[in-house]
Structure 1
């Protein structure tokens, strides 16, 4: 669960419009907390085991390893399926913090992040998981990196150290929202208040990466995604950060939007980002310039997926809305479910789509409505 202990600076930032994803995470965490019988430190308590009803557990993120499907969610739940989601098995997890994102770089190597600053890793396709990092050691470990780095300009180093103290001095308070590895050694995890960490050895060691992003206001970093050779991070104030080809440095690109983005996906030069109120912005030049699309969505866009096989974007919202768009945005279809829920992720498979959310895992059974033509 999310330990709700914040500094005065954090309280001020939580009051802003960019905090919606944080509030969403808190609500999901409270749902898990309500089910608990008394308090047990989630970092010291293994995930509870469920005998049945696995497909109905609250799920936050999905991944396809190429050989299996993974689903992660509240109270440390990690589910695995080897038959395209028809049957799920719960995997043992050494903690019960809420898990928010999962990413695999190969059928064997994957990572999970979540509340309490947790980072887990698997080397066997998600069957077993080990803890690589959590918020208890974060302040000392991350601060030491900058204290020992004599190459940094002193004013910049002091700013990074001050922000780390602001974020981490209360202990394992803040989550990591999203994780992405570009290969089995190099990866990043992002979170609120500019939290940004990196690993160069498969997660055996994690270091701060505040110096690798032009983010002087320490804006929330909501999600990290890879499209082709480029990494992108969605943020507040209409900002999408784009990495150079080496992935060593991220610079801000203004989209013209004033709010927050929470998800991004794409193919080739084409990108689609989604935010509060169903906002969708598109780019046709690898994120260098952006324009708004006319969107029928009304709620926070919690995830966007691009299905390469079907040449289709799918955008889902916290209000249970689903919008499908063609690869060039020339066609769109708003899909309607008989029992919508707070959607958190979507995963396209041959012949079906699996939706994840607060009420568990659901295969696609919706019918398309409101077809339209022409880029919006």
Structure 2
């Protein structure tokens, strides 16, 4: 049970490939060395692409962070680490955060041009151990805290080996990061301090947390993850409760909230499910056979686009009840898909960033 389990899912092995090699060597030079400027950065491995405000951002291996005004011409940011980066979020035009391997959290205060390191996985176990030891002393009747003390002791023995998959800030000060083996941290001061909140999440098997999206309400959200994990939470009240009715035990790598409030989940072996009532009832999405579904995007016109790792692109015009193939190809493996400039998609993968025109 817990973080002693081995990796089991296709996309986990994909995303953690750089992590695995680092783990074997127990070397963390990537946390001390800056990313190397490269004219080929936009054609190198990309894990996530997002648009925030009027700018596009992409993150990838070796600490690459790219930004663009038009989705075609990309500039490489100054980044203080060479860790592979997996997600990025800008709650305001100037303030942004990026996360990735070695538990790294980066921050930008100038719209993504330059970055500083706020946190890394070497701190995760040490700070978590001190926190949960104190919680165990103050709450002697709570059986969870001694268990979390053991988990933090094990995390220390493993070093900075666990990646953060997602970052989301509710405003310029209050944010969360999520990752492998149930890692979850929060900040209320723009990342000056990161707090452990693992004990507030109903994820007792420490399943990986792959994706995050908003639900209706000020700070309500859902998390999707490994082994059919689906959590509904409230950031302000610091709770995340597992939905037990999920009709599948495979991993959900991506999720999207449609405009009508429905939640659509996609994952291992191309399976997709949908709920209109936050998990009380489920239906399997009607779609063509595909590889594992690894990313999704909500387009400006409300359509949903989901991507298969083998390069398939699916589109739904009925809030995720059914999907059909888009008659365009990413030309190879796809790890991420995003709304692009008017009439286009941006996709990323091993060959970098590509701009694809959407059919009219």
Give the direction of change, closer, same or farther, for the CA distance of 1:80–1:276 in structure 2 (3 Å limit): same
Report the Cα offset of residue 86 of structure 1: 2.0
Question: Which of 343, 346, 351 is residue 354 of structure 1 equivalent to?
Answer: 346
Question: Which of 299, 313, 317 is residue 291 of structure 2 equivalent to?
Answer: 299
Q: Which residue of 2 aligns with 1:165?
A: 153
Q: Which residue of 1 aligns with 2:177?
A: 189
Report the Cα offset of residue 270 of structure 1: 1.0
Where does the alignment leave 5 or more consecutive residues of structure 1 unmatched? Answer: 1-8, 33-38, 369-376
1:219 maps to 2:207: yes
Contact 2:19 2:161 in 1 (8 A): no
Match of 2:146, SS?
helix
Contact 1:268 1:286 in 2 (8 A): no
Match of 2:31, SS?
coil
How far apart in 1 are the matches of 2:359 and 2:18?
A: 28
* TM-score, normalised with respect to structure 2: 0.89
Where does the alignment leave 5 or more consecutive residues of structure 2 unmatched? Answer: none
Q: Which residue of 2 aligns with 1:57?
A: 44
Offset from partner CA, 1:201-253 (integer Å, 9 cap, x none): 11111111111111122122122222443211112222211103735100011
Contact 2:287 2:324 in 1 (8 A): no
Match of 1:361, SS?
strand
How far apart in 1 are the matches of 2:2 and 2:143?
A: 22
Offset from partner CA, 1:263-288 (integer Å, 9 cap, x none): 11113421111110111111112344
Summarize the alignment of residues 71-110 of structure 1 with structure 2, pairs less than 5 Å apart.
71-82=58-69, 84-110=70-96
Contact 2:212 2:222 in 1 (8 A): yes
Q: Which residue of 2 aligns with 1:68?
A: 55
Contact 2:230 2:242 in 1 (8 A): yes
Q: Which residue of 2 aligns with 1:248?
A: 238
Q: Which residue of 2 aligns with 1:260?
A: 251
Match of 2:151, SS?
helix
Report the Cα offset of residue 305 of structure 1: 1.2
How far apart in 1 are the matches of 2:75 and 2:7?
A: 39
Offset from partner CA, 1:74-105 (integer Å, 9 cap, x none): 000001112x2121110100010000011111
Question: Which of 140, 146, 153 is residue 126 of structure 2 equivalent to?
Answer: 140
Report the Cα offset of residue 312 of structure 1: 0.5
Report the Cα offset of residue 53 of structure 1: 2.9
How far apart in 1 are the matches of 2:230 and 2:11?
A: 16
Contact 1:29 1:74 in 2 (8 A): no
| Range that drifts further, 68-77 or 265-274 | 265-274
| Range that drifts further, 171-180 or 244-253 | 244-253
Offset from partner CA, 1:321-356 (integer Å, 9 cap, x none): 100011433563302445522212111132211111
Match of 1:48, SS?
coil
Q: Which residue of 1 aligns with 2:323?
A: 332
Report the Cα offset of residue 154 of structure 1: 3.9
Q: Which residue of 2 aligns with 1:122?
A: 108
How far apart in 2 are the matches of 1:60 and 1:335?
A: 21
Offset from partner CA, 1:29-71 (integer Å, 9 cap, x none): 6899xxxxxx871011100111x23331211111212121111
How far apart in 2 are the matches of 1:193 and 1:338?
A: 33
How far apart in 1 are the matches of 2:167 and 2:140?
A: 26
Match of 2:143, SS?
helix
Report the Cα offset of residue 128 of structure 1: 1.4
Q: Which residue of 2 aligns with 1:286?
A: 278
How far apart in 1 are the matches of 2:275 and 2:252?
A: 14
Q: Which residue of 2 aligns with 1:198?
A: 186
How far apart in 2 are the matches of 1:316 and 1:28?
A: 22
How far apart in 2 are the matches of 1:89 and 1:242?
A: 37
How far apart in 2 are the matches of 1:261 and 1:283?
A: 14
